[in-house]
């Protein structure tokens, strides 16, 4: 049991208490951030004359040595230490002696952990954004190739009006694009440095908080030292955004599961992205999509857990906040895995375009267009709606579709029908004529695709600058 705070105590900590309290098992993930923050802190301490240049150099050498040894597997982060901060400090003192004891000057583990967690989360925001960008590119490629791939559009999971694969995928482009915008918002709001807040009330040392903030790529220091150590809003925002990403992935997964079903057969999953059954030899299951759908609950759970943990905590730091880590790390891993696997599955999935078009042709998806045809011939829309409704009933009775009826049959219901009706309600026309902004018509679609391309380029620039600043 290696602790930083034995002085005031006369008895050893109970073993179970120690284990219950210790966080190394999971906060060892923050190792790199802890070293980075410590280096920035001592560089600043020496600039301010609080440490000598020699002390600073010795400490930095010790810290980078620890980092190398851990990276090369020569030093294990073992569970003799209470947390990652104790591990680093104890090892530093072992290596460099008295200078190492000065590392914690003007710092508390409260601002230290606030910094580590923020650095780690900020990195994850950028990584998730990069995953989302890859997914958007796969979606956009599919859109470009499928401007004229017809499929039914649904409401209530009932065929409604014809649309295209490009248009359907375009809806998901919008969702994941908003997810990226949320990453950008979160990044901007969270990018302030809590280091120097101390335990809660700042310190009496003349720290230059601006300097450490800039050293670590922050916009500046946080402005209230109590809030700095007590704030986990950025995590809550990120988990809320991740929950939304999962909700989008889950809806998309649900559609793929439906499209892959025996009844639909709109898609063929790549063998590398599907699995078989141990008993039924004919099976090829959409397990990846199902798992992504299933894992959504874990990420929502993390959000709920942290919201609940934070709701009763008086200012400033309380140990409850240590509970932010395990669920967050699990959520970060889950979303990264889901985005990677989902993108791979999507990029290798094949479409059965004939079946999709055939499906779009039956189910009266052209009924609205047939009504619009009559409107163009001078029939008021409400009357046209009634006429087409009767026509649909007639077709259901005869087990046929509107476009398969003879002109005589059509005219028996309304004398406004002419031979131009077939062209007007063909699948191609139904889609092509939908040219309002955001609609599936090919010209409208091409406009949107152009905008998406421009968006991807400009967004990529914003984030690659930040990723660069990170390294
Ligand atoms: N392991 C702690 C956490 O994650 C570090 C901060 C400890 N601070 C303290 N006052 N005990 O929150």
pLDDT band at 329 (very low <50, low <70, confident <90, very high): very high
Q: Which of 9, 33, 83 to mutate to test the pocket of ligand 1 (most atoms within 8 A of CB)?
A: 83
pLDDT band at 13 (very low <50, low <70, confident <90, very high): confident
Residue pointed to by tokens 């600073």? 56
Domain boundaries, the chain: 6-105, 110-144+160-204+218-358, 367-425
How much is the pTM? Answer: 0.93
Buried b / exposed e along 359-374 (16+ C-beta atoms within 10 A): bbbeebbbbbbbbbbb
pLDDT tens digits, one per residue of 227-284: 999 999 999 999 999 999 999 999 999 999 999 999 999 999 999 898 877 777 777 8
Catalytic residue among 156, 278, 406, 419: 156
pLDDT band at 468 (very low <50, low <70, confident <90, very high): very low
State how far the alpha carbon of 197 is from the alpha carbons of 83, 212, 282, in Å.
Answer: 20, 12, 62
In angstroms, what is the span from residue 109 Cα to ligand 1's centroid?
6
pLDDT tens digits, one per residue of 205-217: 999 999 999 999 9
Looking from the CA of residue 199, the nearest atom of ligand 1 is 10
Quick one: tokens of 29?
């993930």
pLDDT of residue 465: 66
pLDDT of residue 281: 75
Q: Where are the beta strands (DSSP E) in 241-374?
A: 267-268, 350-351
Looking from the CA of residue 325, the nearest atom of ligand 1 is 4
Write the CATH number of the domain with boundaries 6-105.
Answer: 1.10.275.10
Q: Which of 4, 25, 82, 109 to mutate to test the pocket of ligand 1 (most atoms within 8 A of CB)?
A: 109
pLDDT band at 337 (very low <50, low <70, confident <90, very high): very high
Is the domain covering 367-425 a CATH 3.30.70.20 domain?
no
In angstroms, what is the span from residue 294 Cα to ligand 1's centroid?
33
CA-nearest of 175, 130, 141 to 346 is 141
pLDDT of residue 1: 63
pLDDT of residue 43: 98
**Whether the predicted pLDDT of 75 surpasses 70:** yes
pLDDT tens digits, one per residue of 397-448: 999 999 899 999 999 999 999 999 999 999 999 899 999 999 999 999 999 9
pLDDT band at 2 (very low <50, low <70, confident <90, very high): low
Q: Mean per-residue pLDDT for 378-394?
A: 95
Percent of the chain exceeding pLDDT 90 equals: 87
pLDDT of residue 466: 64
pLDDT tens digits, one per residue of 141-187: 999 999 999 999 999 999 999 999 999 999 999 999 999 999 999 99
Site residues for ligand 1, CB cut-off 6 Å: 23, 27, 83, 109-110, 113, 317, 319, 321-322
Looking from the CA of residue 324, the nearest atom of ligand 1 is 4
**Whether the predicted pLDDT of 55 surpasses 60:** yes
Query: In sequence order, what are the residues at sequence separation of 6 or more whose Cβ sits closer than 8 angstroms to the Cβ of residue 443?
Result: 435
pLDDT of residue 171: 98
Catalytic residue among 32, 38, 277, 426: 277
Between 468 and 71, name the one with better pLDDT.
71
> Average per-residue pLDDT in the chain?
94
CB 296 within 8 A of CB 246: yes
Half-sphere exposure of residue 462: CA atoms within 13 angstroms, side-chain side: 17
Radius of gyration of the chain (CA): 30
- H-helix or E-strand containing 154? strand 150-155
Closest C-alpha to ligand 1, atom 11: 319
Q: Mean per-residue pLDDT for 21-49?
A: 98
Residue 426 catalytic? Answer: no
pLDDT of residue 282: 78
Q: Nearest 5°: CA angle at 261, between 260 and 262?
A: 120
Helices within 163-280 (DSSP H only): 165-190, 209-215, 225-230, 233-259
**Whether the predicted pLDDT of 17 surpasses 60:** yes
In angstroms, what is the span from residue 190 Cα to ligand 1's centroid?
20
Residue pointed to by tokens 């609940």? 308
In angstroms, what is the span from residue 12 Cα to ligand 1's centroid?
19
CA 25 to chain centre: 26
Whether residue 279 has a cis bond before it, omega within 30° of 0? no
In angstroms, what is the span from residue 110 Cα to ligand 1's centroid?
6
In angstroms, what is the span from residue 368 Cα to ligand 1's centroid?
63
Residue 156 catalytic? Answer: yes
Write the CATH number of the domain with boundaries 110-144+160-204+218-358.
Answer: 1.20.200.10
Looking from the CA of residue 117, the nearest atom of ligand 1 is 4
Percent of the chain exceeding pLDDT 70 equals: 97
CA-nearest of 460, 237, 248 to 342 is 248
**Whether the predicted pLDDT of 461 surpasses 70:** no
pLDDT of residue 462: 65
């Amino acid at each position: 049991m290696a602790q930083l705070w034995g002085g005031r105590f006369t008895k050893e900590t109970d073993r179970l208490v120690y284990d219950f309290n210790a966080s190394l098992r999971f906060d060892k993930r923050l190792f790199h951030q802890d070293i980075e923050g410590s280096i920035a802190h001592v560089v600043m301490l020496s600039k301010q004359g609080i440490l000598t240049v020699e002390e600073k150099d010795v400490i930095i050498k010790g810290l980078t040595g620890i980092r190398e040894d851990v990276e090369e597997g020569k030093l294990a982060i073992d569970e003799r230490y209470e947390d990652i901060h104790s591990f680093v400090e104890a090892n530093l003192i072992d290596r460099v002696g008295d200078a190492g004891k000065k590392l914690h000057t003007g710092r508390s583990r409260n601002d230290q952990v606030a910094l580590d967690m923020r650095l780690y989360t900020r990195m994850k925001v950028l990584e998730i954004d990069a995953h989302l960008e890859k997914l958007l590119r796969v979606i956009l490629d599919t859109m470009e190739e499928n401007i004229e791939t017809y499929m039914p559009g649904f409401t209530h999971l009932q065929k409604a009006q014809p649309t295209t694969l490009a248009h359907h995928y375009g809806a998901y482009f919008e969702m994941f694009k908003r997810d990226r915008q949320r990453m950008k918002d979160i990044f901007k709001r969270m990018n302030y440095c809590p280091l120097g807040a101390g335990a809660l009330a700042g310190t009496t040392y003349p720290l230059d908080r601006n300097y450490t903030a800039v050293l670590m790529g922050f916009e500046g220091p946080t402005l209230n030292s109590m809030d700095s150590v007590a704030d986990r809003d950025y995590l809550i925002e990120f988990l809320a955004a991740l929950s939304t990403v999962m909700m989008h992935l889950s809806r998309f997964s649900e559609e793929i599961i439906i499209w892959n079903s025996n009844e639909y057969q709109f898609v063929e999953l790549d063998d590398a992205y599907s699995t078989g059954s141990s008993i039924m030899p004919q099976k090829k299951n959409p397990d990846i999509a199902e798992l992504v759908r299933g894992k959504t609950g874990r990420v929502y759970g993390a959000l709920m857990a942290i919201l609940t943990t934070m709701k009763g905590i008086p200012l400033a730091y309380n140990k409850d906040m240590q509970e932010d880590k395990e669920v967050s790390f699990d959520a970060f891993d889950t979303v990264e895995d889901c985005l990677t696997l989902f993108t791979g599955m999507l990029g290798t999935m094949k479409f059965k375009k004939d079946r999709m078009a055939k499906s779009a042709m039956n189910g009266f998806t052209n009924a609205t267009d047939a009504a619009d045809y009559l409107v163009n011939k001078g029939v008021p829309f409400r009357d046209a709606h009634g006429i087409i409704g009767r026509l649909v009933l007639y077709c259901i009775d005869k087990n046929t579709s509107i476009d398969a009826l003879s002109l005589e049959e059509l005219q028996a219901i309304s004398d406004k029908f002419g031979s131009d009706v077939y062209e007007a309600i063909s699948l191609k026309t139904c889609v092509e004529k939908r040219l309002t902004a955001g609609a599936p018509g090919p010209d409208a679609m091409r406009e949107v695709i152009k905008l998406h391309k421009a968006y991807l380029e400009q967004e990529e620039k914003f984030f690659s600058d930040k990723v660069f600043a990170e390294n």
